[in-house]
Chain A
Amino acid sequence: QKEVEQDPGPLSVPEGAIVSLNCTYSNSAFQYFMWYRQYSRKGPELLMYTYSSGNKEDGRFTAQVDKSSKYISLFIRDSQPSDSATYLCAMIDRGSTLGRLYFGRGTQLTVWP
C-alpha cells in the first residue's frame, strides 16, 4: 500500500461546478500538506499548503485537513475550464530533515464549458 492514496479519476465536470479532490494517507508523521496543480507537459506548481487540521481558503480554493482520519481534500468552487489539469496532493514527514515530498498519483480534472 502506498503511503499516499489518491483516486486518479479522470473527473469531468461542467463549468461552475464544485469540485472535490481527496487523498488519504497512512503515515501519522505527515505534518505538512500541499496541493500541486500540473498542466499537461508542465511541471507541478504549488497551489496551496497547510499545516494543521481544519480549512484554509484562497479565492475559489479551499484545502481541508482531517488528521484524525488521515484525510485531506481540495475544493474548487465555480470551476473554470482553466482549472483543467492534474491535481497532486503531497505531504512532508514531521521528522524529515530533507523535506522530501510524498505524492499521490494525481487526479486528472476536466472542466468543460
Chain B
Amino acid sequence: GAGVSQSPSNKVTEKGKDVELRCDPISGHTALYWYRQSLGQGLEFLIYFQGNSAPDKSGLPSDRFSAERTGGSVSTLTIQRTQQEDSAVYLCASSPRLAGGDTLAKNIQYFGAGTRLSVL
C-alpha cells in the first residue's frame, strides 16, 4: 500500500512569506506526527494528532507555527512570516495507534520523505 506522502518535496521561499506543507498519512492510521530535522541535528518533535482529540502542540517552536488535520486524515503544517532559521526538512509520520494498543509494534511510526524548506 501507499506510504506517507508529503508535498511539496522542496520549497524555496523568501523571508517573511507564509508556507504550507502537506502530509497525507497511511490510510487508517489514527496518529500523525510532525518533526523537524535541521542540518546536523536529530529529529525535533513539533506536534501530534490522535484521532479526534485535541492535538499536542508542545513542540511547536513559536506561534508562527500551526498545524491542522482535516477529517482525521490529511494534515497541513503552516509557518507564517518565515525566518531563515526555519530552513530544515519537515518530516511527517503516521502510526496505527490501535485502540488498547500499548505495545510498540502497534505504535511504530512510518515516515514520509519530508519537505525540504529553504528560506532565503
B97 lies within 8 A of chain A by Cβ: yes
A44 & B91 in contact (Cβ 8 Å cutoff)? yes
Q: What's the interface size class on A, roughly?
A: 20 to 34
Most chain-B CB neighbours within 10 Å: which of A8, A92, A105? A105
* Residues on B with beta carbons closer than 8 Å to the beta carbon of A41: 113, 116
Partner of A105 from B42, B91, B95, B110 at Cβ < 8 Å: B42
Complex CA–CA separation, A103 to B33 (angstroms): 14
Q: What's the interface size class on B, roughly?
A: 20 to 34
CB distance from A48 to the nearest CB of B (A): 11
B83 lies within 8 A of chain A by Cβ: no
Residues of B within 8 A of A (CB): 4, 31, 33, 35, 40-45, 48, 50, 56, 59, 91, 93, 95, 97, 104-105, 107-114, 116
Residues of A within 8 A of B (CB): 2, 4, 6, 8, 32, 34, 36, 41-46, 49, 51, 88, 90, 92, 98-106
